[in-house]
Amino acid sequence: MSDPVVITIPHRLGKDEAIRRLKNGLASVHLPFVTIDREIWNGDLLEFSLSGMGHKASGTVLVSNDAVRLELVLPWLLQRFAELAASALASRAKLLLEKK
């Protein structure tokens, strides 16, 4: 495995509302050629694993009162796509966390 890509997404929802939106919204997140294999919430921490194109990746999402920290670890062969994958996940998370 390679070094993780870490992205912090600020929000103004508070921890509980951010967690609620992420839990409800993750089911609707579809990434091309990627399957979410595991999604385990433990309080304010989500641990997940993904698979696609014959490779597996893992990561965490840590929710605080004013930010969400996304950490994504890709296999070495896919490391050059790490920023792109993390950016795609972050953009979907930002949509879920927009104040409405």
Q: What is the pLDDT of residues 44-71, one digit of tens each?
A: 999 999 888 888 999 999 999 999 999 9
Residues whose CB falls within 8 Å of the CB of residue 12, separated by 6 or more in sequence, listed in order: 66, 99
Between CA 70 and CA 62 the distance in angstroms is 7
When divided into structural domains, the chain yields a total of 1
Verdict on whether the full-model pTM lies above 0.85: no
* Spatial CA neighbour of 44 closest among 28, 25, 22: 22
The per-residue pLDDT for 88 is 78
pLDDT band at 16 (very low <50, low <70, confident <90, very high): very high
Here the CATH number for the domain that contains residue 51 is 3.30.530.20
| Domain carrying residue 18 | 5-97
